[in-house]
């Protein structure tokens, strides 16, 4: 029974490690997830890895390709719009239902916003990507609803994958200012205003996406042949982000 419990725990760890890797922008769209390698890394059977992958598939994080294996999803433009629509509904509803911030809650958000400023000053884009998504998860954590926390973690992870594919520029200052406005409304106890500001903030982020961009279907072969990346159809994608490629594997 102990061995079964240990394997179940490690299976959960696989899921959390992959989601955390996406949230921190270390795992990119199209990354191949090898069952054999994950089984070795986490010390579990391939069956447990497959079960973890199937759970992540239901959460919209990975997909399976017949005879090729598991891959991190590369959201389509249509999927991107539905993810942002879902976030607007959930986050605005969450804020409208919140009670006044405690002093501890206020300090949590103050510390987080200070981290955003420090990361901007240092020019640490990977850290900023993580922090920008984490702000919304922290608000859910203050609400204390475990279901909403998990939903927002998944939606935020999918948003980060969307940004890697479709964001032409990284507007860190704009996102930070949006977070500050939401925070100020929360401190004032005006959660209706905070909800409206959260919608405006997500609208701004979605507007910054180039949903005409498409992943390069020949990226794996292109890399294998040492050919230069395909030019983007419009402006360049998120500066500093790698092009998603199925050849990357963990």
pLDDT category, 125, cuts 50, 70, 90?
confident
Q: What pLDDT was estimated at residue 83?
A: 97
Query: What is the spatial distance between Cα 40 and Cα 59, in angstroms, rounded to a whole number?
Result: 24
What does the pLDDT look like over 138-169, one tens digit per residue?
999 999 999 999 999 999 999 999 998 998 77
For the stretch 237-249, what's the b/e string if a residue is b when 16 or more beta carbons lie within 10 angstroms of its beta carbon? Answer: bbeebebbbbebe
The share of the chain scoring above pLDDT 90, in percent, equals 70
Confidence band, pLDDT 50/70/90 cuts, at residue 235: very low
pTM above 0.85, yes or no: no
The residues facing 87 across adjacent strands are: none
Average pLDDT (108-112) is 98
Residue 202 · residue 228 · CB < 8 Å: no
In angstroms, the CA 56 to CA 9 distance is 15
pLDDT tens readout for residues 48-102: 999 999 999 999 999 999 889 999 999 999 999 999 999 999 999 999 999 999 9
The SS3 call for residue 73 is coil
- Average pLDDT score, the chain: 86
**How many other C-beta atoms are found inside a 10 Å radius of the C-beta of residue 40?**
12
Instruction: Give the C-alpha separation, 19 to 219, whole Å.
Output: 23
Query: With 80 as the cut, is the pLDDT of residue 117 above it?
Result: yes
Query: 């069956």: which residue's tokens?
Result: 47
What is the mean pLDDT of the segment spanning 11-24?
Answer: 90
């Amino acid at each position: 029974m102990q061995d079964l419990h240990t394997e179940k725990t490690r299976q959960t760890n696989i899921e959390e490690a992959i989601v955390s890797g996406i949230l921190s922008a270390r795992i990119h769209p199209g990354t191949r997830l090898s069952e054999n390698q994950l089984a070795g890394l986490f010390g579990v059977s391939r069956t447990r890895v497959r079960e973890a992958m199937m759970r992540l598939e239901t959460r919209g994080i990975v997909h399976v390709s017949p005879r090729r294996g598991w891959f991190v999803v590369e959201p389509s433009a249509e999927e991107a719009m539905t993810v942002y629509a879902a976030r607007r509904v959930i986050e605005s509803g969450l804020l409208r239902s919140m009670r006044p911030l405690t002093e501890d809650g206020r300090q949590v958000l103050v510390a987080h916003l200070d981290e955003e400023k420090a990361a901007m000053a240092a020019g640490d884009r990977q850290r900023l990507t993580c922090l920008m998504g984490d702000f919304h998860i922290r608000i859910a954590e203050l609400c204390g609803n475990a279901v909403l926390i998990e939903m927002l973690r998944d939606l935020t992870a999918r948003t980060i994958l969307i940004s890697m594919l479709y964001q032409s520029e990284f507007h860190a200052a704009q996102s930070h200012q949006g977070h500050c406005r939401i925070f100020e409304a929360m401190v004032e106890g005006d959660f209706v205003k905070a909800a409206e500001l959260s919608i405006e903030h997500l609208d701004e982020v979605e507007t910054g996406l180039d949903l005409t961009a498409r992943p390069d279907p020949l990226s794996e072969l292109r890399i294998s042949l040492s050919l230069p990346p395909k030019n983007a159809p419009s402006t360049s994608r998120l500066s500093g982000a790698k092009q998603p490629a199925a050849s990357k594997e963990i």
